[in-house]
Structure formats: C-alpha cells, structure tokens
A and B are shown apart, each in its own frame.
Chain A
Amino acid sequence: MSPRVLHRPELSADELQQVRWLLGGLLTLLGVGTVVYMDIEAWTLMVIAAGATLAVLYRPGLPARLPAWVHTLAFPGIVAFFAADLWLKAEVLPAMVRLDMLLLLYRSVTYRRRREDLQIIVLGLFLIVVAGVLTVSLLFALHLLVYTACALALLLVVTLGDGGAPGPSGPVVPGETPAWAQGATWRPLLRRVRAVLDWRVLLLGALLFAGVVGVTALLFLAIPRFQLESSMFLDRIITKKARSGFTDTIRFGDVSEIQQDNSVALSVDVSDQGQIPSAPYWRMLVLDAYADGTFRTSRGLRHQEFEAPQTGTQLRGTLRPRPGEPVVWTFFLESGVSRYLPLLGPFESLRFRDVQNVSAAPRLAVLALRDEPVSMTAYRVEGFDLSPALPDPTFAQAWRRRQETGARTFLQAALPEFSRPADRAALDRALAAATDGQKLPAGEFARRVSEWLKANHGYSLAPVIPGGDGDPLVRWLVSREPGHCELFAGSFVLLARAAGFPARIITGFRGGSWNGYSNNYTIRNADAHAWAEIFDEGSGAWLRADPLAVAAAMEHDTNRGEAAVAARLDRSWKARLDSLRVFWYRRIVSFDQQSQVETAAAVKDAATTTVRALRARLVALSSSLHDWATAPWDASRLLTVAGGLAAAAGLAWAWLRFGRDRWSGWSRGRGGRRGDPVRREAGRWLHLLSGYGAGAEERQAVIADLQRVRFGPQPTWPAPEKLFRRARQAWRDLRRQRSAARR
C-alpha cells in the first residue's frame, strides 16, 4: 500500500499579502494608540491616523486612489512639518512623537513592501518605548503584550511571503491596485487562516511567546536589585592588570626591568592652584620589614597601624580643621593601579563618591581599600599637610621605650640578621665612607647618605646587581652599578638602620604633569616611585629622604603655585586627550548633583537661546523684506530687480544647458547607482555565481538567463523574480557543494 500524502490547505500568496496588510494595520493602530498614555498633544493626529488606517483596512483598494503627488510630497512634507513643529513648540520629544505618528500614517495608507512592514514595527516600537518610559499602567502592559504578539506574527508572515510569493520584494507601483487588494474580504480570510493554522504550530508559538514574556518579566523584576557597579561582571573581565606593580613587597635580586607605561594612573583637581607643590610625593604604601632581599609590610605594622575596615563615604583625618577655606584635592584613581589610595600626607577629611570599604593607617598616612577597584575611584580630600616631615608621636614614644627597655616596636626598624657576617661588615664600611664615621643627626645623615648614594650609582630602569653570595641589596649598595628608585631607597634604609636610625620605604608616585587644557595634575604609571623615610628623634617625625632627588624631598616647598605649574606644564596632544577624560570625570562623575544640574541647565539655556535668536532673525528678515517691498519704487530699483532676475534666469539657463549634464556625467563617472534595478539585481547575482568555472548545467542556464536580464534587450527577458529565485537556489547549491568539498 502506498503511503497517502495529506495536503494541508495553504494560504495563497494573495492571502498572505492580505494577512500582512491586516497585521500592519493592527500594528499601526496599536502604535498610535499609545498616545492615550502620554501627556502629549497628539490626539488629532492619533484620530486621523487611526481613522485612515481603519479606512484602508476596510477598503484595501483605497491606497491606489492616492494621487502620485501625495507620494512625491510625503517625505518633504513630513520633514517640513517636523521642522516647523520643532521650531514653533521647541519641545523635542513631543515633536518626535508627532513625526513618528505622521510616518506611521503615511506608511499605513500606502502599499508596503517587506522593508516598509519592518518600518511599521520600528516606528510603533518607538512610540511604545516612549510611552513605556512615561507611564506605569497595567493597561499599557497589556497593550505591550498585544503589540509584541502582532509584531512577531507580522515578522512570521513577512518571512513566509519571502519564501514563496513574489510580491513583497517586488516594486510597488503607485496608483495601481495590487491583485491581492482587489478581492480582499476579511471574514472569509480569517476563516481560511483558521483552517490553515495547525494547533501544534499555534501551541509552539504560544509557548515561545510565553517564554519570552516570562524571561522579560523576570528581568524586569530583577533589574532593580542589581547594583550596576558591582554586578557589571564584564567590567571585571576587562580590568587591566596592575600596571605600576604596587604590591606589599619589593624584591631585589631578581632580574627586573621596569616597563615604562605612559597611561594615566591618577588625575587630581586642586581647588587652589597656589597650593600645588613643585615636587609632590603621592604616598601609597609603607614597607618596613627586610629579609632575604625583600622589603615587605610587616605583619606587626599591618596589625598595629591599620584600623578596622569601615564602610562609608566619609573619613576623618588626623589633622584638626584649620580656620579658613580648606584646599580641596579631588582624586580620580584609574582602575588597575592599586587598592592603596595615593595621598599627599595627613589630611583633615576625606570623602568618597561611592560607598567604599576602607581601612586607614592614619599615622602612616596610608589608606587601603578592601579590594582593588574595578572601576575608577574618586575621592576628595580636604586640608593636606604638605610638609616633608610626618609627625608620629606614638612611634616616638615606642622608640624611646625601646631604647630604654629593649622592648620591641611593632615596626621592624632594625637591621635583619644577615646570613653572612661579611654583608654586615660591608654595610658598615659603606656607612663609614658615606658619613666619614661621624655621628650625625637624622636630617643631616639623610642628606649625606643620599648624596653619597647618588654619587656612587647612576640611575637606570634596567639595574645591574652584581653577582655573588649574600644579600643582593648590599651587593648593589657597595658596587657602583646603576639602579632604579627601589634600590636607592632600599639601600638608604639599610644604611640608616645600620647607623641606628629607624627607616622605611614608601612607595607611590612622584611628580606628574600639569595638564594645561583641563588644569589638573596628571600622574602616569611611569611616575611610580619609591623613596625612604627616616625617623628623627629630635622632632619626633619621619623625614622624607629621596636619594634620587635630595633637595626636593627634604626641603619645604618654596616653589609652590604658579611656578610649580609652569615647571610641569604639559600641552601635548596626549594632554589634550587626557583633558577629555578629566572633563568627563568632572561633569559626569561628580560628587554632588550640582554640576550635573549645571550641565543640563547650560544645555537647555544654549538650546533656548539658539531658538530665540533664530526666531528673532527670521522676524527681522521678514520685516526687512516687507519694508523693502513697500518702499517707493523708482527706475533704479526696478532696474536692480530686473537685473537680479535676469542673472538668476541666466544662472538657471546655464545650469540646464551645461551644469546638469556635467553633473550627471560626473555622478555617472563615479559609478553611481543608476539604471534599471532589475538589471542591477541581475548583475549582483551574476557576479556571485560566475567565477566558479563551469559547473552544473542548471547553473550555466541560470547564468545565461542572468546575462540576458543584465545585458540583453528587455522584451526578451525571462520572468525576473523566478530567475532570481533560481539564482538563489543555484547559489545555495554552490555553497553546499563547496562546504561539502571542504569537509
């Protein structure tokens, strides 16, 4: 028994077109219906659009009766309407809504191709989005659901039509009723649609739709619970690696070369330019423990000095507020630099833009975030103490007690037990050479030793550490090899400790440049630096000692403000680019809403001023025109006008005579798109299909026919739509063969 083939009823191409028309009309109605939810003057337009849509739904033959000039004038008319609307009412959003409705109206009363059906969906979508932003209503939710369903159905029908019917992609001739519109009656059509629809398809469609709606609803419910900044997992993925290499340890002895990274690490705004130091030291971290060629932050220091982490935006500093307006420093720290925040010293108060979890070490003037930030961190500091000495009475006390009783301080300030006695001996010899064996006060000691180091070693980013046994830092210290800042600072600390002074390494940034465009400090990763601090018992303070910049580190700035700015002024192209970033930070990433409000107000002011000026100019123009026309006429004026008219006519004639041909010749010469679209389409397929050598017979036949349509006389053409379908099929076959051959 042969299997019986069941033929399911199918919609004809004309019927598909009718369904398309119906769905497009529905979408238009739903789109313009959103005006109900908006407080926008568009009621008249809505009524017109809805009425027109209903009319063409009822009588699909109506659009053919539109005269051709309607189509010619539609686009310029709509643009003119929009411009006039914008000018008269000076409100952007309502004008755009009305523009959208006009476009919808025009689309709904003309026959549509696939492209224009998609336009209906997009235009409607715009209205839906605007209404969705402006309204919260259950009815709107229902509206949205119906719209989505209709849009999906229309997309499905458009896709179906693409497979079989030639109509949707074919040109629409204005003034000609298409075949499908001639006998369209909706009730029999709906009956046909019901007969054609399979319940399984319906079920699948409904399930998919429900799934989409469900996921959307879930997302909708979940979104307010996201905290965007902490949930942007993408941000974590793209976070850059720490570029300046700030860690809690510095290791010597490894072959290490520091890469020069010129990207911006930190941007700083200062409220008073007169306070800008000539050589600012942006401290970030204190390293005290030294063992086996490695400096690190000791556990004792970490426990003793860092306070328990606190969450918030405000932080009180150690300094008491001084009278007068404090200088405000605003820091924008790029992501990927460090979790330690650069500071200039002790401060009065600090405020974060966002809530942060931070632990402070006030005596060290160091702040640490819990995690390395994944995005830019902004904080504002008031009242820095810019002096190079950092008073530390607590340590002074502890140090004194240790001198007296031998109690240990939390700070590992003593020399390590070198594994080779020779190291210690070498260190002592170096100390004797640096100080001439004298016992010096801390300040003088720092200067002498720094100068000695500077005299013995050159500066290099690719340091050379001599080979041998024992401590690598001591090996370098007693040699005359060049080194980088960490070696200098480490050597200084060892020498100071050998002489009995407490000393430690500070890491951070030094210097930076002054961006002349945005007027702020820019510190790049290449400005990363390490220097030392030595404790001065006399003043009970830590003194800054930088063997690489002896004077700048130790002295009080006499060179502040203008001179400091001038010395570091950067007006390069790079600075120009950086200034954009800073502008963005200042305006958008602001600490309060004030500047955002200011920005908005400025934009609004500029817009209204422009509109007002334009309007005034137009009024002036029209009145002057009027004055000119009503002024008494005499012979010379008449002559002038006649001359002007003649010149205009001459120009027009010249254009018609010479210019137009030149122009068209020129545009043709450029290979501009011109000629018959069918020929163009045939050319496209021809180009795709030829160039693969001789192939299947069918393909050769298709190519011959395509050549005929592209280059042959039109009366001998085969039916183009059918041919293009064959061409598409041939192209698919070709691709399939090639992919099979590749496998």
Chain B
Amino acid sequence: MSDFVQSGQLTEAKQALDRLRANMRLTIRGKDDVLDHVLVCLIAGGHLLLEDLPGVGKTTLAYSLARSMDCVFSRIQFTSDLLPGDVTGVAIYDETIREFVFKKGPVFANIVLADEINRATPKTQSALLEVMDRARVTVDGEAHAVGAPFMVFATQNPVDYEGTFPLPESQMDRFLMRLQMGYPEPNDEREILRHARGGYDTIALNPVATRTEILGLQSLVQQVFVEDSVLEFILRIVAATRTESEFRAGVSVRGGVALRTAAQARALVHQRDFVLPEDVAELVGPVFTHRLALARQTSDALEERRTVTAALKRIVGAIPVPR
C-alpha cells in the first residue's frame, strides 16, 4: 500500500462525504460549517463537545449523523444521580447459568449522545471519558469493545451552571473539538418552523454510508500528506500557546496531534490529499479553545471562551503562515 492517498480513494471519499453532508442537510439547515466540522471530527476519529444553549439542534445533529450511517445511536441523559454502571453497563448474576453476565450499557453504540455531561458526578464522567479514550469497557477484568466507529457527542450548557460538575481540563483534552451551534439564520429558521415535527425520533433519514466506509475514511485520514512547513506551523502555534501569559497552561502534546489529525481530516473533507496552512488556521479555534484555561478567574464560562478565542486568534495572526 502506498503512503499517499490514491486518486481513486480520494474520489470515493469525496462521494461518501458528499452523500453524508447532503443527507444531514435535510434536517440541519443552514449550518454547513458546523456539518463540515462534524464530518471532520467523525473521520478524524475524535469526539465532539457541543456547547450551546438548549434547543438549538444539538441532539438533532447527533441523531441525523447516526441515522445517515447504518449506526447504532444511543442517548444518555446525564444527571447528578447517574452512576457509572448506568453508562458502561453492569455485570448481573444470571441464575440460569449461575454466572455474572455483563449487561451492556448505553455506551455500547456507534454514536453516543451524552446530554448535559456536566450534570453528572465526576465519577460517572470519568467512566465515560475512559471509554472515549480506550474505546472499550473493562468490567471484572473483561474488556468489551464498544462499537466501531465510536463517537461521543457530549453537550453542555454554558449558561446554566447551577449544580454542575465542570469537566476538568485533563478530561476536556479527550474531546477533539468543541463546537457551538448558534442560532440559525432567519430564512433557515423559517424553513425549520415550517417543516419541523415533534422529537428527533421522528426524523426519517436513510443511511447513505456504511460503517466500513467510515472506518475506511478514518484510516485514509492518516495518509493525508502534511508538508514540513505546515507541521512547523502547527508546532509554532502550539509553542505560542505555551508562552502566552493569558493562559494557565499551554496546549498538550495530544492537543498538537489532535490539530494535525483534524487538519488532515479537513483536507480530506475538501477533497485534498494534502494539508494546507488554511486547514490548520481554520481548525485552531475548534480544536484548541476547550483545551486552554485562562490564568485569571472568570465568573462566566461564555466570557472565558470568548477571551480564549480572541487570544488564540491573536496568536495565530502573529505567526507567519507558510508560503
């Protein structure tokens, strides 16, 4: 196998991604940039943190992605009394065979929507985050692989922080990207008003991509070519976050790798077999903002995000883009 993406593979990838995008557009209107980022996250094999107000389509987004592939979708509503076992599953003693039998939890799916993840206790959060990291659940020394592909959509509300357990930075690092949906444009909202039905369960979408195709895309991403100067560009951005006084700490090594992978995925989404500096620049925000905390305390999570975004933009602006 060649180290580079072959042109045939590129065409196939383009077709599969086009199908997915077109399918998801049927339910998510006017959010093409968010859709592109979701696809990037999907084929980069990462997890997504959706941070926005309730009712702007976070669940619909996750559900339509799951429906567009022949994937298992599950949803976990996080609450403060949720236990780790409620997420991963429990071993139950089976009288008939006189053994403990592992009963799989909702995490055994391909697309998992972890709604309001910050409402659960840290212990439960950790259980999920462990799964995210290893893509398997270990109970009583026995490892159970979750689905493949496996992608977690976690959501949290940035405004209503009463009685929540904010995710620690180390766990934020596990998410490849953080996205905001934002309100739709007036025209799009009118369309939504005209067509929307009750809940997300009523969404009827036909699967347009197979799980195998998605796995193929995920492995293809790793072959997307990154030229030295682009790597250098990423390195410099990462290094700059570490020397910036506004941040409590810089981006981790995992963060740098995440940016590279995301850039590769974005290149593939844009039907390229090589990364451009603009791929990197475009993704610095979604990939890095949730990994950085401000050195000073802020009262408001939204304000912190805004400040971090502005500082990142300034940092990236100061670094010469490779020409």
Interface residues, chain A, with chain B CB atoms under 8 Å away = 668, 671, 675, 679, 683-684, 686-687, 707-708, 710-713, 715-716
Given contacts A668-B232, A675-B228, contact A713 B274 (CB under 8 A): yes
Query: Could you jot down 30 A-B contacts, CB within 8 Å?
Result: A668-B232, A671-B320, A675-B229, A679-B227, A679-B229, A683-B322, A683-B323, A684-B323, A686-B323, A687-B323, A707-B272, A707-B276, A708-B274, A710-B227, A711-B225, A711-B229, A711-B230, A711-B277, A712-B225, A712-B227, A712-B272, A712-B273, A712-B274, A713-B3, A713-B4, A713-B225, A713-B273, A713-B274, A715-B4, A716-B273
Q: How far is the CB of A567 from chain B (nearest CB, A)?
A: 59
Residue among B4, B225, B323 having the largest count of chain A Cβ atoms under 10 Å: B323
Which residues of chain B have C-beta atoms less than 8 A from A713's C-beta? 3-4, 225, 273-274
Tell me, yes or no, whether B275 is within 8 Å of chain A by CB. Answer: yes
Report how far A707 CA is from B228 CA in the complex, Å.
Answer: 14
Residues of chain A within 8 A of B277, CB atoms compared: 711
Question: Nearest Cβ in chain A — how far from B323, in angstroms?
Answer: 4
A contact face: mostly helix, strand, loop, or mixed: helix
Minimum Cβ distance to chain A for residue B223 (Å)? 10
The residues of A that contact B225 with a CB separation of less than 8 Å are 711-713
Q: B3: which A residues are within 8 A, CB to CB?
A: 713
The answer to whether B323 touches A711 (Cβ under 8 A) is no
Instruction: Compute how far the CA of A708 lies from the CA of B320 in the bound complex, rounded to whole angstroms.
Output: 20
Q: Which residue of A lies closest to B7 (CB)?
A: A716
Contact of B275 (CB < 8 Å), options: A668, A671, A711, A716? A711
Question: In this complex, what residue of B is CB-closest to A704?
Answer: B272
Closest Cβ–Cβ distance, residue A547 to chain B (whole Å): 68
Q: What residues of A have a CB within 8 angstroms of the CB of B4 in the complex?
A: 713, 715-716
Report the count of interface residues on B (CB-CB < 8 A).
Answer: 17
How far, in Å, is B203 (CB) from chain A's closest CB?
A: 35
**B282 → chain A, closest Cβ, in Å?**
14
B232 touches A711 (CB 8 A): no
**A687 contact set on B, CB distance < 8 A:** 323
CA distance A276 to B320 in the complex (A): 65
Query: A671 — which chain B residues lie within 8 A by C-beta?
Result: 320
CA gap between A477 and B311 in the complex, in Å: 75
Q: Which residues of A contact B228 (CB under 8 A)?
A: 675
Most B Cβ at <10 Å: residue of A671, A684, A712: A712
B232: A residues at CB distance < 8 A: 668
Type the 1/0 row for B1-14, where 1 means its CB is closer than 8 Å to any CB of A.
Answer: 00110000000000
Nearest CB of chain A from residue B286's CB, rounded to whole Å: 21
CB-defined contacts of A711 to chain B, threshold 8 Å? 225, 227, 229-230, 274-277
- 0/1 interface trace, chain B 198-229, chain A, CB 8 Å (1 if under): 00000000000000000000000000010111
* A679 cross-chain contacts in B, Cβ below 8 A: 227, 229
Q: Report B25 CB to chain A, min CB distance, Å.
A: 22
| A684: chain B residues within 8 A (beta carbon) | 323
Cα A668 to Cα B233 with chains together (Å):
12
Binary interface encoding of chain B residues 226-264 relative to chain A, with 1 for a CB under 8 A from any of its CBs, else 0: 011110100000000000000000000000000000000
B322: A residues at CB distance < 8 A: 683
Chain B nearest CB from A565 CB (Å) reads 59
Smallest CB separation, A687 vs chain B (Å): 5
Write the chain A residue with the least CB distance to B232.
Answer: A668
Closest A residue to B225 by beta carbon equals A713
Q: Looking at the assembled complex, report how far the CB atom of A404 sits from the nearest CB atom of chain B, in whole angstroms.
A: 96
Which residues in A have their C-beta under 8 angstroms from that of B230? 711
- Within the complex, the shortest CB–CB distance from B320 to chain A, in Å, comes to 6
Most A CB within 10 A of own CB, among B229, B230, B232, B322: B229
Q: How many Å lie between the Cα of A708 and that of B4 in the bound state?
A: 13
Q: Closest residue to A716 on the B side, CB-wise?
A: B4
**CA separation between A711 and B232, bound complex, in Å?**
12
Give every chain A residue within 8 A of B320 (Cβ-Cβ). 671
Q: Which residues of A contact B323 (CB under 8 A)?
A: 683-684, 686-687
Most buried by B among A668, A679, A713, A715: A713
What CA separation (Å) do A292 and B312 show in the bound complex? 80
Quote the shortest CB–CB distance from A731 to chain B (angstroms). Answer: 16
A712 contacts which chain B residues (CB < 8 A)?
Answer: 225, 227, 272-274
- Give, as a whole number of angstroms, the nearest-CB distance from B233 to chain A: 10
Map CB proximity to A onto B281-323 as digits: 1 under 8 Å, 0 otherwise: 0000000000000000000000000000000000000001011
Residues of B within 8 A of A686 (CB): 323
Residue of A707, A711, A713 with highest tally of chain B CB at under 10 A: A711
A715 CB, nearest partner CB in chain B, Å: 7
Alpha-carbon separation in the docked complex, A119 to B190 (Å): 71
Q: How far is the CB of A287 from chain B (nearest CB, A)?
A: 69
**B residues in contact with A708, CB < 8 Å:** 274
Which residue on B lies nearest to A708, using beta carbons?
A: B274
Chain B residues within 8 Å of A707, by CB = 272, 274, 276
CA distance A675 to B232 in the complex (A): 12
Please measure, in the bound complex, the distance between the C-alpha atom of A322 and the C-alpha atom of B282, giving whole angstroms: 93
A687, B277: Cα distance in complex, Å: 13
The smallest beta-carbon distance between B269 and chain A, in angstroms, is 16
In angstroms, Cα B230 to Cα A707, docked, is: 12
Beyond the given pairs A679-B229, A708-B274, 19 more chain A to chain B contacts, judged by CB atoms under 8 angstroms and listed by A's residue number, are A668-B232, A671-B320, A675-B229, A683-B322, A683-B323, A687-B323, A707-B272, A707-B274, A707-B276, A711-B227, A711-B274, A711-B276, A712-B227, A712-B272, A712-B273, A713-B3, A713-B273, A716-B4, A716-B273
Cα distance A274–B273 in the bound complex, in angstroms: 88
Instruction: Output the least CB separation between A271 and chain B (Å).
Output: 64
> Which B residues lie within 8 Å of A716 (CB)?
4, 273
Shortest Cβ gap from B235 to chain A (Å): 10
- Interface pairs A-B: 4 shortest CB-CB: A712-B274, A713-B225, A683-B323, A711-B227
CA A716 – CA B3 in complex, angstroms? 12
Contacts of A668 in B (CB 8 A): 232
A692 to chain B, nearest CB (A): 16
A686 to B278, CA, bound (A): 13
A715 surroundings in chain B (CB, below 8 A) = 4
Nearest chain B residue, comparing its CB with the CB of A680: B323
Cα(A707)–Cα(B275), bound, Å = 9
CA–CA, A715 and B274, complex, Å: 12
Min C-beta distance of B221 to chain A, whole Å:
15
Cα–Cα distance between A675 and B233 once the two chains are bound (Å): 14
Closest CB of chain B to A212's CB: distance in Å?
A: 42
Chain A minimum-CB-distance residue to B320? A671
- Cα separation A69 to B115 with both chains bound (whole Å): 69
Residue of B nearest to A684 (CB): B323
Chain B: minimal CB distance from A12 (Å): 33
- What is the distance, in angstroms, from A717's C-beta to the closest C-beta of chain B? 11
Chain B CB within 10 A, most for which of A668, A683, A710: A710
Q: How far is the CB of B108 from chain A (nearest CB, A)?
A: 39
Measured CA separation A675–B320 after assembly (Å): 16
Minimum CB–CB distance for A674 against chain B, Å: 9
**Complex Cα gap A713–B228 (Å):** 11
Chain A residues with CB under 8 A of B229? 675, 679, 711
Taking CB as reference atom, which chain A residue is nearest B229?
A: A675
Closest to A713 in B: B225
A534–B14 CA distance with the chains assembled, in angstroms? 106
Q: How far is the CB of A664 from chain B (nearest CB, A)?
A: 12
Contacts of B275 in A (CB 8 A): 711
Q: In the complex, A675→B227 CA distance in Å?
A: 10
Shortest beta-carbon distance, B273 to chain A, in Å?
A: 7
- Smallest beta-carbon distance A131→chain B, Å: 47
Complex Cα gap A736–B230 (Å): 33
**Bound complex: CA A712 to CA B230 (Å):** 11
A686 to B228 CA separation, bound complex (whole angstroms):
17
The CA of A710 and the CA of B323, in the complex, are separated in Å by 8
Task: Give the shortest distance, in Å, between B224 (CB) and chain A (any CB).
Answer: 9
Complex CA–CA separation, A683 to B272 (angstroms): 17
In Å, the complex CA distance between A711 and B272 comes to: 11
How far is it, in angstroms, between the C-alpha of A712 and the C-alpha of B272 when the chains are bound? 9
Q: Which residue of A lies closest to B275 (CB)?
A: A711
